[in-house]
Structure 1
Amino acid sequence: MPSAHLTIDPHFVTGRIQRRLFGGFVEHLGRHVYDGIYEPGHEAADAEGFRRDVIDLVRELGVSTIRYPGGNFVSGFRWEDSVGPREQRPRRLDLAWHSTETNEVGLHEFASWLDKVGSDLMMAVNLGTRGTLEALDLLEYANIRGGTALSERRRENGRDEPFGVEMWCLGNEMDGPWQLGHRSADDYGKVASQAAKAMRQMDPDVTLVVCGSSSRHMPTFGEWERVVLGHTYDDVDYISCHAYYEEKDGDLDSFLASAVDMDRFIESVVATADHVGAVRGSTKKIDLSFDEWNVWYLDRFRDVDKISGIDNWPIAPRLLENVYSVVDAVVFGNLLISLIKHADRVTSASLAQLVNVIAPIMTEPGGPAWRQTTFYPFSITSRLAQGDALELKLDAPSYRTALYGEVPLVDAVATHESETGRSAVFLVNRSTTEAITVTVDIAGLGDVGVCEAHTLSDDDVYAVNTLADPERVTVRDNDTVALEGGLLTVTLPPVSWSAIALG
């Protein structure tokens, strides 16, 4: 059996883990909102029409800040449509997903749902088909206490206190030709800078995210970041990153190493941002908001392309309903490891998305809600990863991949909270054939014990959870964990994700 060794020392800190790292994303897309979080006729619906079973699962998932309302959707969105009496709200065509938006769930309703799930609102503004004035109007409506036309309209609409939205995204994927209002980096950078300066004049405490590349594989990647930050460096706090991964052409080995690509993506954006800062002679550091990330089989689950025709605009069609397997969950858990590894600069992230649409939670109209395989790594990591991300010394055998070259068979990250003395280590075994024994030197943590140990794996790496069998895949306790003389040993099954809590 192959073996690996790593050392955990709380003195070697990468960065403080921010709760925003465990954010989510809700877009008006497919059955995410309607027949997802909101289904008034369902037996589990509360007085506002929100499904309580979904609320319970989102709370269990442990998401912090939730990005809303898009996504591609936001570039055609008129925020005014989503407030005021429901019977007076207009129906609109959503060009991004070729659907009809009823606006039955809008800003007030979504804020109420966030209160129920215990998450904060991260708002995106439309810089695709709109601009600075509309962004200011939304900010006034959301954050000004009263005494102005739009703040008083909010109060008339039933919300006396401001929404108090702190974090704002300046558009979405403006580098993408598919985006309404797509423009060059130079043009977008100028618009984003204008909007950012104006928003800070109204509310100096806002946290602003400028659009980075929608993929590391975009032809403009790198140059886009350089030009956009050249315009906005002094105006914003974050630049965004988006990345989705899938198994292609049966190349399981490369798919299991997807986090290597995420690592390189992050490091490239950090280097570009720091270059812009250095040229400007600035001591300011731009952080990264990885506000879209997930496993997504784009070709297999991009059924929006099947909806066409000027008279065909369905309400809440089944779109992007990715069904996740064991191997998807292992890669997903590894992506979380990558985000935590870079906690010094990745201080915000949003899992895209939460319910039905490439999501860890699925629902059936009039039926149950259930956990997909990816639910477990997120919920456990969100709960256990506290305090500081630690720099590990990892020695592991490697294997060759077609896309990323030589890659370690084991990847890992550890966290430590000095205030409580609690620590956690998260590990993946990328081998498709062999279990691996990992020895972890935890002497630097002092006198600690194992509080819990979980592993997600299965003899069938393509096993999934479905409506018919919603608990086919789950996590189980890892009973191979042993601790003696400051050394912890654990056996990781092939294609597995594991989490161990210490305290």
Structure 2
Amino acid sequence: MPSATLTIDPAFTIAPVNRRTFGTFVEHMGRCVYTGIYEPGHATADEDGFRKDVLELTRELGVSVVRYPGGNFVSGYRWEDGVGPRADRPRRLDLAWHSVETNEFGLDEFSRWCAKAGVEPMMAINLGTRGVQEALDLLEYTNHPGGTALSDLREQHGASPYGIKLWCLGNEMDGPWQIGHKTPTEYGRLAAETARAMRMIAPDLQLVACGSSSSKMPLFGTWERDVLRETYEFVDHISCHAYYGNDDGDTASFLASAVDMDHFIEAVVATADHVGAELKSSKKIGISFDEWNVWYGERSRRTDGPGDQWEVAPRRIEDEYNVTDAVVVGNLLISLLRHSDRVGVACLAQLANVIAPIMTEPGGAAWRQPTFHPFAITSRLAAGQVLRIETDSPTVSTARYGDVPAVDAVATYDEGRVALFAVNRSSEGPVEVTIDVSRAGVTTLDEAVIVHDEDPNATNTAERPDRVTAQPFESARLADGKLTLTLPAISWAAVSLSE
């Protein structure tokens, strides 16, 4: 059996675990909102129409922050449509997803939902069809304590200040598909003007400029450079978006998707630091990886009916995830944690139904997709400091990334407790992994779980919601400062140790 060795040393710190790493994303797209998190009349619906079964799963998932309301949707959104009495709210055409938006769920409902879910809101601003004034109006409505037209309007709607600290300055403005698509200089100027004005109201806001929609965009690198040259001193983060799939059947490359995420993050950091050097600034720009997930373009259910019809909440990209997808999601979380020194925010896109860890049926059940489990467990166990791990591992050959380590891992250390997260990216067979934990002083194996199945294509459904779950990892052993694991092919595991 191939073998790998790792060393965990509490002295090899990267950065503290950032709870905002465990964010998700709610967009007015498909059934994420309607019959996802919100469904009045459902058996579990509360007085606000929120599905309590989805709220419970959101808490179990360990979500920290939720980005809203888009996504592509935000670039044509009028936030005023989603406040005040529902009977007065207009129905609008949503050009982004060729749908009808009823506005039954809007800003006021989202804020109440966040409070019930125990999550921090991350608000996106429309910089596609709107600009500085509309951003200031939204900020006044959400955050100003009172005594002005819009803050008083919020109070008339029965709400205290929402206190939103984290804001996205638009969404994917480099994409030709985006309403209000702009050149990097056009967008950078608008984002800088918006950020400067918003800080006149609230200097302590944390603002995210739009980076490239993916690392494969034609302007990737130059977009970040030109945008940051305009916005560097006014923003805190620049965004990254990445989706990975296996439509071409290249499973070896798909399992190594985290290699691409590593490179993406490091390239954006290098570009940001280059601009900082040009500007002679001591400030460091963070990364907001506020859209990431597995997404199968070819096998997604895109709509309930003909694409030329305007429907309310049609099914859009409701991917059914399997064990292999869950292992990739677990590995992408490893990458995000490994870059905690620069990744300040990350959002799994999306929360419910739309390429999501939580699935629902209208009037019916809610259940966990296989991808739910590595996210929930990592969020629960990761604490303290992220540690740098040096890995000596056999390699896997991939068409996209060349030879990559079969075993990838990250660990955290918190006052005598170690959490290890590891994957075997090989589909050929198990790897025996030996981890030296002697420097951490841990003597007790508290928990060991694994996501794996003899059928890597196994999925969960409403009829079989627990076909794929995290199982006890029986091969984990701790003795004499050595932790040993036999990681099966295509598997993700987490282990918790203490003194």
Please say if 1:390 is aligned against 2:393: no
Please say if 1:228 is aligned against 2:223: no
- Deviation, structure 1 residue 307: 4.7
Q: Where does 1:369-384 land on structure 2 (aligned, <5 Å)?
A: 369-384=366-381
Give the equivalent residue in structure 2 for 1:244: 243
3-state DSSP class of the match of 1:324?
coil
Deviation string, structure 1 residues 387-423 (Cα, Å, up to 9, x no partner): 11101111001121100001001000001113xx211
Give the equivalent residue in structure 2 for 1:112: 112
- Deviation, structure 1 residue 479: 1.0
Looking at structure 2, the residues matched to 246 and 18 of structure 1 have their Cα atoms a distance apart, in angstroms, of 27
Looking at structure 1, the residues matched to 396 and 242 of structure 2 have their Cα atoms a distance apart, in angstroms, of 24
- Give me the identity figure in percent: 61
Please say if 1:347 is aligned against 2:347: no
Please say if 1:436 is aligned against 2:435: no
Q: Which amino acid aligns with 2:146?
A: G
Give the equivalent residue in structure 2 for 1:205: 204
Looking at structure 1, the residues matched to 298 and 352 of structure 2 have their Cα atoms a distance apart, in angstroms, of 20
C-alpha change, 1:306 and 1:173, in structure 2 (3 Å) is: farther
Give the equivalent residue in structure 1 for 2:441: 446
CA contact (8 A) 1:226 1:273 kept: yes
Looking at structure 2, the residues matched to 320 and 393 of structure 1 have their Cα atoms a distance apart, in angstroms, of 38
Q: Which amino acid aligns with 2:431?
A: I
Q: Where does 1:470-485 land on structure 2 (aligned, <5 Å)?
A: 470-485=465-480
Give the equivalent residue in structure 2 for 1:13: 13
Q: Which amino acid aligns with 2:253?
A: S
- Deviation, structure 1 residue 356: 0.4
Give the equivalent residue in structure 1 for 2:268: 269
Looking at structure 1, the residues matched to 150 and 38 of structure 2 have their Cα atoms a distance apart, in angstroms, of 27
Q: Which amino acid aligns with 2:148?
A: T
Looking at structure 2, the residues matched to 104 and 379 of structure 1 have their Cα atoms a distance apart, in angstroms, of 30
Looking at structure 1, the residues matched to 361 and 341 of structure 2 have their Cα atoms a distance apart, in angstroms, of 40
Looking at structure 2, the residues matched to 65 and 477 of structure 1 have their Cα atoms a distance apart, in angstroms, of 29
CA contact (8 A) 1:97 1:304 kept: no
CA contact (8 A) 2:301 2:315 kept: no
Looking at structure 2, the residues matched to 305 and 170 of structure 1 have their Cα atoms a distance apart, in angstroms, of 32
3-state DSSP class of the match of 2:341?
coil
TM (norm. structure 2) is: 0.99
Please say if 1:410 is aligned against 2:384: no
Deviation string, structure 1 residues 54-84 (Cα, Å, up to 9, x no partner): 1100000010010000000000000000001
Judge which range, 244-253 or 138-147, deviates more.
244-253
- Deviation, structure 1 residue 433: 2.1
Identify which of 353, 356, 359 aligns with 1:356: 353
Looking at structure 1, the residues matched to 442 and 469 of structure 2 have their Cα atoms a distance apart, in angstroms, of 31
TM (norm. structure 1) is: 0.98
Q: Where does 1:14-93 land on structure 2 (aligned, <5 Å)?
A: 14-93=14-93
Looking at structure 1, the residues matched to 8 and 242 of structure 2 have their Cα atoms a distance apart, in angstroms, of 29
CA contact (8 A) 1:259 1:334 kept: yes
Q: Which amino acid aligns with 1:244?
A: Y
Looking at structure 2, the residues matched to 301 and 201 of structure 1 have their Cα atoms a distance apart, in angstroms, of 44
Q: Which amino acid aligns with 1:129?
A: T
Q: Where does 1:252-267 land on structure 2 (aligned, <5 Å)?
A: 252-267=251-266
Looking at structure 2, the residues matched to 284 and 498 of structure 1 have their Cα atoms a distance apart, in angstroms, of 37
Give the equivalent residue in structure 1 for 2:314: 317
CA contact (8 A) 2:188 2:230 kept: yes
3-state DSSP class of the match of 2:46?
coil
Q: Which amino acid aligns with 2:490?
A: V
Stretches of structure 1 that go unaligned for 5 or more consecutive residues are: none
- Deviation, structure 1 residue 468: 2.0
Looking at structure 1, the residues matched to 95 and 305 of structure 2 have their Cα atoms a distance apart, in angstroms, of 14
Looking at structure 1, the residues matched to 304 and 203 of structure 2 have their Cα atoms a distance apart, in angstroms, of 42
Deviation string, structure 1 residues 424-483 (Cα, Å, up to 9, x no partner): 000000111211110000011114311100000111101110122111111100111111
Give the equivalent residue in structure 2 for 1:192: 191
Q: Which amino acid aligns with 1:426?
A: F
Looking at structure 2, the residues matched to 302 and 274 of structure 1 have their Cα atoms a distance apart, in angstroms, of 41
CA contact (8 A) 2:418 2:442 kept: no
3-state DSSP class of the match of 2:311?
coil
CA contact (8 A) 1:83 1:108 kept: yes
Looking at structure 1, the residues matched to 258 and 70 of structure 2 have their Cα atoms a distance apart, in angstroms, of 25
Q: Which amino acid aligns with 1:391?
A: R
Looking at structure 1, the residues matched to 301 and 331 of structure 2 have their Cα atoms a distance apart, in angstroms, of 24
Looking at structure 2, the residues matched to 393 and 177 of structure 1 have their Cα atoms a distance apart, in angstroms, of 41
3-state DSSP class of the match of 1:303?
coil
Q: Which amino acid aligns with 1:26?
A: V
Looking at structure 2, the residues matched to 346 and 466 of structure 1 have their Cα atoms a distance apart, in angstroms, of 33
- Deviation, structure 1 residue 304: 5.3
